Amino acid sequence: MATSPDTINLIRTKTGNSSQVEAVEASLRNTAFIGVALFVFVGVITGLTYIYFSFQQQSLTDTKNQLVQQVNNSQAKEGLLLSIKARTQTVAKAMANQRPWARLLDNISSIVSPPTLASVAVDERNKIVVVIRTVTVDQLVHIVEAFIKEAQDNRIRAPQILSFQLDKTGEAQISISFTAIF
């Protein structure tokens, strides 16, 4: 404000400051500047830490989701692999118990062959039942003698005649059972 000659200003326009007050003011300015700088620095560090941990959390969440997906995909494969393992154990057990049936069937076919040989059945105890149909009883006698000879040569064990039928036309049917020797 401009001073005119008619006004009197009793307050000094310039006041003198003591050196102590100026030192305190400078110290307060420096402290305020350091405080603001420290506050901004802590804020920036906190923000950067938050951003870093947010990215870490997102990365871990993505990794977790991928691993959960892999586990879910592997469950189906694991189920299939377990079923294959169970089946291979069953197949291995069957193959371990497999017998050389070709030689025995060759022996049976050398004694009697189709159409005279009606059927051959094998149970799990290696007991074989053979059903034979012949035109005459004489043919049947020769076949029975051949099975007896096989038993004497230790190729079969315990031959038994299970049934014998003779119809009016003279055709005979016989069922013979025996145990295979391997």
Residue 57 binned pLDDT confidence (cut-offs 50, 70, 90): very high
For the purposes of burial, counting CB atoms within 10 Å of the CB of 150, is it exposed (0-12), middle (13-18) or buried (19 or more)? buried
Contact call for residues 151 and 159 (beta carbons, < 8 A): yes
pLDDT at 136: 79
The one-character DSSP state at 153 is: T
Backbone dihedral angles phi then psi of residue 118, each to the nearest 5 degrees: -85, -45
For residue 14, the model assigns a pLDDT of 63
Q: What is the spatial distance between Cα 107 and Cα 155, in angstroms, rounded to a whole number?
A: 9
Instruction: Name the pLDDT band for 15 (thresholds 50, 70, 90).
Output: low
- pLDDT-based confidence at 172, cuts 50/70/90? confident
Q: Tell me the C-alpha distance between 130 and 163, whole Å.
A: 11
Residues 64-104: tens digit of each pLDDT: 999 999 988 888 888 888 899 999 998 888 777 777 777 88
